[in-house]
Amino acid sequence: MMEIANRQQLFLVSDRSYADKEKLELSGFTLPEEVARKYEYKITLDESVLPPTFLITFIPHGSQSADGELTLDSAGIKTPAEKW
């Protein structure tokens, strides 16, 4: 998640907007295999506000399902706090 957040900051500086999942992956990003086996992810953008924001959500599957979703937003807020 932190790598995605770092890349989002680079997109904001260079493109003046954050990247959706498709744009992120077109830039060469892939989840590490050990993470991809346990999580899917999505990126939610809100460009209607200034500054724009993003929310990264990791959705667990398989052996990680009991963990529930993990999120990290553009302000650095991580939820649920007890999982971080």
pLDDT digits (tens, 9 = 90+) for 14-49: 999 999 999 999 999 999 999 999 999 999 999 999
Band of the pLDDT at 63, cuts 50, 70, 90? confident
C-alpha distance from residue 73 to each of 34, 55, 56, 63, 70 (Å):
23, 4, 6, 25, 10
CA angle (11, 77, 75) in 5-degree steps: 40
Place of tokens 């086996």: 37
pLDDT of residue 11: 96
pLDDT: which is higher, 71 or 65: 71
Distance CA 74, CA 46 (A): 10
Tokens of 39: 């999580």
What value does the mean pLDDT take over residues 36-64?
94
pLDDT of residue 84: 81
Q: Give me the domain span that covers residue 11.
A: 2-83
Which helix H or strand E contains 61, and what residues bound it? Answer: none
Band of the pLDDT at 54, cuts 50, 70, 90? very high
Band of the pLDDT at 67, cuts 50, 70, 90? confident
Domain count, the chain: 1
Distance CA 84, CA 69 (A): 12
φ/ψ of 50, rounded to 5, equals -120, 125
